[in-house]
Amino acid sequence: MKFAVIVFPGSNCDRDMYHAVKEVLHEEADLVWYQNSNLESYDGILLPGGFSYGDYLRSGAIAASSDVMVQVREHAAKGKPVLGVCNGFQILTEAGLLPGSLMRNKTLSFMCHQEELIVDNNETIFTAGYEKGEIVRFPIAHGEGNYFCDQATLATLKANNQIVFSYRNNPNGSTANIAGITNKQGNVLGMMPHPERAVEALLGSADGLMLFQSIVQNWRESSYVTNV
């Protein structure tokens, strides 16, 4: 499987994402500068964390309007996997690929520590390797990770089983303890915690590795069916 890790001015978790896929998972991966918008040869798109464009206007707002996001939308429309982590999640909401928005943490301060998450939905291409209700540990590192949506949107997210991860002990004030959601089709995941920083025990947790393994396993099964 071949991944594109999109790099914007101000991205700072792109190497973490690349390392997780290339060096730990041993799959193909390229760091793709945001101005190189030809993503046709890639099977999966990864939007890493950081401070794209210095978080001017709103976190992810400028990156969301860049040309490469046209390609990301087309990629998502084809049903291919798109994962946005931290700033990547913010970009996905600003681009309209996921509902809701990310606001300042309830403490109005930057947070950087391990958090326990609950796997609420293990029937996605990202979480198929987990058990429903499983507790996993991923680090968070954000100042604007407070997920907000109105009650109608929350009802839709629950009805469609789009809430994939929730915080066991909500650190930032997110609506309904939400840590990660998918689109209705289930092929676009946005989450504030960092699975790419939890792929080796040396990092304090290897619980994030299963997320990437789930993506690859789903792709291999889908590719097998397509090629038979």
Residues present in the chain in total: 228
pLDDT tops 60 at residue 55: yes
What is the span of the domain harbouring residue 93?
A: 2-227
Contact of 91 with 52, CB cutoff 8 Å: yes
Number of separate domains in the chain = 1
The DSSP bridge pattern shows strands 178-182 and 135-142 to be: unpaired
pTM to 2 decimal places:
0.96
Average pLDDT rounded to a whole number, residues 206-222: 96
Catalytic residues: 86, 194, 196
pLDDT tops 80 at residue 224: no
Q: What is the DSSP string of 21-73?
A: IIIIS--EEEEEETT----TT-SEEEE--B-GGGG-SSTTHHHHTSTHHHHHH
Q: Which two structure tokens, joined as six digits, stand for 58? A: 């709103």
Contact of 87 with 144, CB cutoff 8 Å: no
Give the rounded percent of residues in the chain with a pLDDT score beyond 90.
93
Instruction: Give residue 21's pLDDT.
Output: 98
CATH number at residue 144: 3.40.50.880
Average pLDDT rounded to a whole number, residues 63-91: 96
Kindly report, residue by residue over 119-177, the tens digit of the pLDDT. Answer: 999 999 999 999 999 999 999 999 999 999 999 999 999 999 999 999 999 999 999 99
Average pLDDT value over all residues in the chain: 95
Q: For the chain, what is the radius of gyration of the CA atoms?
A: 16
